[in-house]
């Protein structure tokens, strides 16, 4: 399904007030919020102990102040949240996993389970980065809803097979599961797989860029993030929230195909084009900053790239970068610049400036008006750079370790810049 119109959130359309009488009992027969010995052996972990909110906090916060509490062995949303507030998140980030939980909604209720949620001050709500398994009491919802808003959807992206869905009535418990395995995604409902797709494919990006998320440039790109529960203005209850982490798979990717800019996205008005198998960046008439960013995130990786500075050469390779409003790209930049200006050093584009500069004697390693080979190794909080086979810098930095994002090439402002690029290859780690 392709989306060509601007989509609105359910709560901005259907705000309602729910009284305390709408809360549903969390009591069940069997013992809840425990793991069997086999589940423990298989690597499952509980995200909720059945007694406290330990391990949960506000989105973009350090403590828990949002309207959530524990009632009769379940996490319960008061129903006082809104589209802009009421989100709680796990303290830990998760990458590849199976996530299972039981849920029960109030009459006409609406909630959701989000994952790969990124926390930054720029993001006011979780859903602009994190995909959502939609939870909603469709039969009793007070207003008509679109197919992309229904139970079990990957919200505003992929729809489940409704013929497979067996939903227990409102007031009874249901079980849902999300599988996220290195981009392969499954939604399950009461033991049946109802939805399956591959993230970050051409089809996925077409849906992302043409629907609700067209103005959310970082939606769904994160490879890891916190898990979030949503108080969307209706009481909702959760129990038996458990997760099993899955291993990361490595792969080798050729970032530039030598023919066009497939797999990249340009930001700003500067020039990016391909000529004779070479990717070229060149200052445009506006003489402003320009960026060419991968559409995918790359967090831990080994990158090699060749470049030649034909004019000025004030450029760079951004790592773990993200796009803000307009054409602004933020992250950490491995410098590409004329001789004497620190090619191979690492600069933070916001806040701290230079994190580490190259020794002056290493300026001679740069080939002027000729091809150079840059290698960038990023693992956790460690970054090492090489130029033409010689190590330039290495650094260990907590903020870099907490970051994630795209690889991006830069054109500096000021005009007069022309840099050629080729053989951009990355191995994920």
Tens digits of per-residue pLDDT, 48-92? 999 999 999 999 999 998 889 999 999 998 887 788 888 999 999
Q: Phi-psi category of 119—alpha, beta or left, where left has phi over 0 and alpha has psi -120 to 50? A: beta
Tens digits of per-residue pLDDT, 136-174? 999 999 999 999 999 999 999 999 999 999 999 999 999
Residue 260, classified by CB atoms within 10 Å of its CB into exposed (0-12), middle (13-18) or buried (19+), is exposed
- Map residue 7 onto helix, strand or coil: coil
Topology (CATH level 3) of domain 252-428: Jelly Rolls (2.60.120)
Share of the chain above pLDDT 90, in %: 86
Backbone angles phi, psi at 236, to 5 degrees: -145, 145
CA 286 and chain centroid, separation: 31
Cα–Cα distance, 182 to 224 (Å, whole number) = 10
pLDDT at 322 over 50: yes
Mean per-residue pLDDT of the chain = 92
Q: Do domains 10-245 and 252-428 have the same CATH topology?
A: yes
Topology (CATH level 3) of domain 10-245: Jelly Rolls (2.60.120)
pLDDT at 16 over 70: no
What are the residue ranges spanned by the domains of the chain?
10-245, 252-428
Share of the chain above pLDDT 70, in %: 93
């Amino acid at each position: 399904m392709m989306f060509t119109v601007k989509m609105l959130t359910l709560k901005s359309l259907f705000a309602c007030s729910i009284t305390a009488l709408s809360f549903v009992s969390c009591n069940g027969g069997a013992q809840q919020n425990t793991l069997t010995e086999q589940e423990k052996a298989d690597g499952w972990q509980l995200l909720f102990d059945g007694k406290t909110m330990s391990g949960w906090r506000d989105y973009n916060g350090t403590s828990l102040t949002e309207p959530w509490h524990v009632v009769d062995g379940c996490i319960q949303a008061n129903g006082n949240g809104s589209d802009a507030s009421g989100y709680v998140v796990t303290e830990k980030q998760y990458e590849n996993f199976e996530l299972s939980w039981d849920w029960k909604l109030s009459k006409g209720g609406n909630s959701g389970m989000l994952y790969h949620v990124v926390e930054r001050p720029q993001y006011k709500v979780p859903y602009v980065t994190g995909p959502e398994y939609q939870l909603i009491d469709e039969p009793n919802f007070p207003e008509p809803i679109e197919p992309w808003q229904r139970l079990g959807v990957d919200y505003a992206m992929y729809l489940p097979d409704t013929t497979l869905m067996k939903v227990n009535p409102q007031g009874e418990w249901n079980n849902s599961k999300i599988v996220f395995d290195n981009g392969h995604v499954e939604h399950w409902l009461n033991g049946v797989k109802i939805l399956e797709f591959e993230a970050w494919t051409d089809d996925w990006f077409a849906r992302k860029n043409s629907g609700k998320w067209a103005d959310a440039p970082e939606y769904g790109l994160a490879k890891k993030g916190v898990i979030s529960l949503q108080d969307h203005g209706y009481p909702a209850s959760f129990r038996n929230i458990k997760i099993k982490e899955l291993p990361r798979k490595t792969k080798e990717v050729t970032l530039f195909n030598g023919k066009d800019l497939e797999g990249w996205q340009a930001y700003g008005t500067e020039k990016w084009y391909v000529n004779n198998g070479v990717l070229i960046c060149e200052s445009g008439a506006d003489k402003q900053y320009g960026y060419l960013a991968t559409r995918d995130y790359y967090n831990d990786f080994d990158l090699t790239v060749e470049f030649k500075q034909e004019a000025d050469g004030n450029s760079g390779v951004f790592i773990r970068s993200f796009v803000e409003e307009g054409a602004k790209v933020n992250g950490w930049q491995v410098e590409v610049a004329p001789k004497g200006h620190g090619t191979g050093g690492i600069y933070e584009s916001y806040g701290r400036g230079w994190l580490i500069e190259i020794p002056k004697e290493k300026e001679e390693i740069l080939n002027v008006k000729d091809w150079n080979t840059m290698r960038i190794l990023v693992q956790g909080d460690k970054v090492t750079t090489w130029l033409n086979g010689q190590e330039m810098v290495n650094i260990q930095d907590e903020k870099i370790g907490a970051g994630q994002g795209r690889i991006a090439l830069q054109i500096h402002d000021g005009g007069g810049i022309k840099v050629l690029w080729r053989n951009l290859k990355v191995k994920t780690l």
